[in-house]
Amino acid sequence: MKLEDVIAQLEQLCPPQFAVSWDNSGLQVGRYDQEIFSVCLALDATSPVIEFAIEQGADLLITHHPLLFAGLKQIHDRDFVGRRVIDLIRNEIACYAMHTNFDVMGMADAAADLLKLRDREVLEVTYEDDVSKEGIGRIGRLQEHMKLDEFAAFVRDAFSLDQVRVFGNGNDTVITCAILPGSGKEEIDLAAAAGADVYVTGDLNHHAGIDAVEKGIAVIDAGHYGVEKLFVPYMRDYLRRELPGLKIITAPEGEPCRLI
């Protein structure tokens, strides 16, 4: 199967027009006429992931986060991004990113499904036409009322995490939840205005957390990787179902930081 045919299937799931304007989703490296037999899935196109893809003989690396964000003026082996590009080209591995278009068309509902949110709506609309409104994040109601600490434990277990960070009174009851996988600090006010009792996201710093509590909304930091890692099993299942002729492998990844 040619790369352009694989991309066509990926873009049926997550059309490019759903990516936000600042993003760089899509083909990062590769030839559209390249024959694809083996696909490696990962959250990030790090050097260890690329080395793994090379060892496994992959023809295509599909990641959530783009390999290329800022424009490259030079590509050489003394720059770590340049080395990644060189390694991919040298080993004839294409690289394709499904970022904010996947956030909109896959990630948001998949994360809300894990939390079993009912009556859900888009948290932040990023795309609108005559037919529908789409966007990142979801807000909905929990299946049952919980205390904040009880719900935090539920989030931890739902996403298979070792721990989560919680800002708020652990005995407060939470009914309505907003979730935005990835880095969602900027959407705290949006979640609060939408009526969420608790907001689940990643990359929350000290001030964002304590300020959120002052604004009347509890927040749970489940980690950027912690929530978005669902990209890999989601896409593994999708590709096995829609393109059964391809070999699908998943790169060994884990939480990029350690607690000591």
Question: What CA–CA distance (Å, rounded) separates 81 from 218?
Answer: 38
Residue 223 pLDDT: 95
Beta-carbon count within 10 A of 85 CB: 21
| pLDDT value of position 72 | 86
pLDDT higher than 90, residue 140 = yes
Sign of CA dihedral 200, 205, 210, 216: negative
The Cα 22–Cα 7 span in angstroms is 21
Q: What is the mean pLDDT of the chain?
A: 97
Alpha carbon 27 to its chain centroid, in Å, reads 17
DSSP 165: E
The pLDDT of residue 259 is above 90: no
